[in-house]
Amino acid sequence: MNDLSIQLAEAGDKCLYQQIYEYIRDEIRRGELLEGEKLPSTRSLSEYLQVARSTVDFAYGQLVAEGYVEARPYKGYFVSHVEDLFHFSEDAFFEKGMSQNLTKEEKVKSENNKILYDFSPHAVSLKNFPYATWKKITKNILVDANSEMFALGDAQGDRELRETISRYLHSSRGVNCMKEQIIVGAGTDYLFMLLEKILGRHVAVAMENPTYKRAYKVFRSFAYEIKAVPMDNNGMDVKKLRETNARVAYVMPSHQYPTGVVMPIGRRLELLKWAKEEEDRYLIEDDYDSEFRYKGKPVPSLQASDREGRVIYMGTFSKAIAPAIRVGYMVLPPKLLQVYKENCGFYASTVSRIDQRILNEFIRDGYFERYLNKMRKIYRGRHDFLLSHLTCFEKEFMISGENAGLHILLTSRSKIPESELIAAAAKEGIKLYGISDACMGQRSLKNTSFENTILLGYGSLEEPELRRGLMLLEKAWAPYLCAGTRKENSC
């Protein structure tokens, strides 16, 4: 584990968590922090820097969200394996000007192949997080703390928090559950680990292809037999699912990652029918970002339609609040809850009781709802702005996945290779992500509607950054957009 000699500037435009985040990010890019290297704990680093632990939490959370760092349950934070690193321009990335034209500095740095704008589908905006409110709640809790708060607590999570989550899920997602069915854990990785103990080893698990690759890697680490099931426009193909020996199916019906497909009720009922056909079949519903929907009425959860106790519902506050919160939850059907109590009841909760108390009051007292409404408005504005500025891309690219979430998909009508599009954008300072990164198997996208597709995330980019980023992207893709002409802005 390295000591981090970070020099924090109290005065200036950048807040403390941003300075910590940028220092570690740059150390990783320069190769000073190597893959697999352990970072100091949030507690030790906050003590060393003389800052609040939540400040370090937010910095680490952003690093985790962008893939520079990974959090391992019970072990800490470690540097991830990151390929093809590019150096961002901090001045350009955080610059807020509204100029229609690219600055001279941006043009120079784009010519040097340095990344100016990262369209990551995983990144979220932290600028508007209610730091003052969170600090106030934390302070009040610590002032009123008693010895009971520092005891070990319930293995499933504090009763008050589980009660609050139960009410929130019922009102916002239609989930039918009691607080006794909820298990709180430090991120979905821990909850997946519990599922291995509940469902057993060497279980055949069906996953949509493409899928959330982190879940795929976690399941592989359990020695699960993974069955890649292709998708159509409605989600997982149930006919193909029936051809497997899968006992469990992992799905994201409210907003599939990365395709953005919202599963209609007919397909949901097909999945529920498949699950109840045999005694030990279950569906894992990952409802990771259902809070952000821009078209149509809110879609209830799959669990809301389950009458047979076949859906394991999973959610997280990482997208809705901040990555550093590291609080996820799982709703178990009654039968599996009994298995949990018999096989896993001795595992201690991985979330600090103080953090649970803070989160409980943040949700219970209405701060979460107000923050969520604010972020929905901000993300909707960025979503609408992005779509309105993609008109010159529409001839060459089919736009999809725009109904929910924090990214859209651009699929080349001319079958331009994904790698070629990403490389061309990188030359102009734009970091893009291909859908192949979310696929299982080398040939999994051949002859599908998702082949030659780019993910365009907008969660962490403000409108001026989106505008300039799209200008650079138009320049990079001019040969494809303008029938071979290379004139800038000619589309």
Q: Look up residue 481 and give its two tokens.
A: 């957009």
Looking at per-residue confidence, does 357 or 82 come out higher?
A: 357
- Mean pLDDT for 277-304 is 87
Please name the residues in contact with 147: beta carbons below 8 A apart, sequence gap of 6 or more: none
Closest CA to 186 of 73, 288, 287: 73
Q: What are the contacts of 136-144 at 24+ separation with CB within 8 A?
A: 137/358, 137/361, 137/362, 137/367, 138/54, 138/354, 138/358, 141/354, 141/357, 141/358, 141/361, 142/354
Task: Provide mean pLDDT across the span 55-75.
Answer: 86
Mean pLDDT (whole number) for 263-281 = 94
- The fraction of the chain above a pLDDT of 90, given in percent, is 55
Which helix (H) or strand (E) is 47 found in, with range?
helix 42-49
Residue 182 clears pLDDT 90, i.e. is over it:
yes
Packed helices 353-364 and 159-173: angle between N→C axes, nearest 10 degrees: 40
pLDDT in tens, 378-431: 999 999 999 999 998 999 999 998 888 899 999 999 999 999 999 999 999 999
Q: How confident is the model at residue 82 (pLDDT cuts 50, 70, 90)?
A: low
Dist CA 216 CA 233 (whole Å)? 21
Report whether 203 contacts 224 (CB < 8 A).
yes
Give helix 463-476 / helix 104-111 axis angle, nearest 10°: 50
Flag the least confident range among 36-40, 55-59, 150-154, 472-476: 150-154
Question: What is residue 179's predicted lDDT score, i.e. its pLDDT?
Answer: 95
Report whether pLDDT(89) > 60: no
Inform me whether the pLDDT recorded for 336 exceeds 90: yes
Token representation of residue 171: 């009102």
Q: pLDDT tier at 10 (50, 70, 90 boundaries)? A: low
pLDDT per position as a tens digit, 210-230: 999 989 999 988 889 999 999
Give backbone dihedrals phi and psi of 63, rounded to 5 degrees, phi first: -65, -40
Q: Whose CA is closest to 326, among 317, 334, 335?
A: 317
Name the residue with higher pLDDT: 456 or 87: 456
| d(C-alpha 416, C-alpha 480), whole Å | 8
- How far, in Å, CA of 471 to CA of 157, rounded? 48
Burial bucket for residue 63 (CB in 10 Å: 0-12, 13-18, 19+): buried
Residue 90, pLDDT score: 39
- Tell which residue, 123, 134, 151, has the closest CA to residue 461: 123
User: pLDDT tens digits for 153-166?
Assistant: 899 999 999 999 99
SS3 376: helix
Assess whether pLDDT exceeds 90 at residue 72. Answer: no
Dump pLDDT digits (tens) for 310-324.
999 999 998 889 888
pLDDT band, residue 108 (cuts 50/70/90): very low
Strand partners, 431: 118
pLDDT tens-digit map of 432-462: 999 988 888 654 555 455 678 999 999 999 9
Three-state SS letters, 159-198: HHHHHHHHHHHHHHHCCCCCHHHEEEECCHHHHHHHHHHH
Taking Cα atoms as reference points, which of 428, 421, 413 lies closest to residue 469?
428
Residue 14 pLDDT: 75
Q: What is the mean pLDDT of the chain?
A: 86
Q: Of 470, 450, 449, which Cα lies nearest the Cα of 458?
A: 470
Residue 490: pLDDT over 70: no
In this prediction, residue 12 carries a pLDDT of: 62
- On whether the CB atoms of residues 292 and 404 are closer than 8 A, the answer is yes
pLDDT at 117: 94
Contact 120, 456 (CB under 8 A): no
When pLDDT is averaged across residues 229-245 and rounded to a whole number, the result is 94
What is the greatest pairwise CA distance in the chain? 72
What sign does the dihedral 211-215-216-217 (CA atoms) show?
positive
Q: Which residues contact 486 (CB under 8 A, 6 or more apart)?
A: 478, 479
Least-confidence region, from 60-74, 216-230, 336-350: 60-74
Tell me, what's the pLDDT at 1?
A: 52
Tell me the sheet residues that pair with 286.
314
Q: What is the pLDDT of residue 446?
A: 54
Residue 405 neighbours by CB distance under 10 Å: 28
Q: Residue 407 carries which side chain, given as an amino acid letter?
A: H
**What is residue 449's predicted lDDT score, i.e. its pLDDT?**
57
Domains and CATH numbers, the chain: 1-85 (1.10.10.10), 91-129+372-491 (3.90.1150.10), 152-365 (3.40.640.10)
Q: What is the pLDDT of residue 83?
A: 55
Tokens of 50: 């003389």
**In which band, very low, low, confident or very high, does the pLDDT at 114 lie, cut at 50, 70 and 90?**
confident
Q: Does 91 score more than 50 pLDDT?
A: no
Residue 323, pLDDT score: 85
